[in-house]
Amino acid sequence: MALLHNILEHNARWVEEHNRPVSKVPHKKVVIFTCMDTRLVEFLEPALGIRRGDAQMIKNAGNTLVDAGGGVVRSLVVAIHVIGCEEILVIGHSDCGMGQVDADGLHQSMIERGVPEAALNALRPSFGEWIGGFHNPLGNVERVVGLLRDNPLIPPSIPVHGLMFDPAAGSLDVVVDGYA
């Protein structure tokens, strides 16, 4: 409870100093799909020269794509077809926490916290398939770029790049050059 109150108190002060409207059309016409890792917050964007108003950002655990018509792809469809983004950057990172998650341990811990087993067993893909295929963050970037490249909802004219980010150094390496 204290966390939300602290955030709201801070927000009330912050609004007075920072109320500056910005266009919703990104200046750089790029949509970035990356991991929700804490270390990337206010670090990935400046490392790429991306400022507020420059790009659309989509984040999830491990920048994973589990469904060809799911939330990530739908967000990309909006970024491209509604907002006018012209390029996609898929950015994974080294030392990603998703690579260390134990599917069986996660399943057990959720059961212990009262999550119904039937709800867990109904997940598609299953925890095993989802997390099991994630021990290689670089391979995941290649896989996601390939899936997006082949996805008919993403126009062929949109370059899909794959990159790896170092969450300590801030350096960026190209895994897939979307122009090639």
- C-beta of 35: minimal distance to Zn ion in Å? 3
Nearer to Zn ion, 35 or 48 (CB): 35
Nearer to Zn ion, 100 or 121 (CB): 100
Nearest residue to 36 via CA among 65, 63, 55: 63
- C-beta of 167: minimal distance to Zn ion in Å? 8
Nearer to Zn ion, 56 or 63 (CB): 63
Query: Tokens 């050059």 map to which residue?
Result: 177
Positive or negative: CA dihedral 36, 34, 71, 57: positive
- C-beta of 129: minimal distance to Zn ion in Å? 18
Contacting residues toward Zn ion, per CB under 5 A: 35, 37, 96
- C-beta of 38: minimal distance to Zn ion in Å? 9
Beta-sheet strands, E only, within the chain: 30-35, 55-60, 87-93, 160-165, 172-176
The Cα 132–Cα 62 span in angstroms is 12
Quick one: tokens of 66?
């589990």
Nearer to Zn ion, 76 or 96 (CB): 96
Which distant-in-sequence residues (6+ apart) come within 8 Å of 149 by Cβ? 160
Quick one: tokens of 179?
């122009």
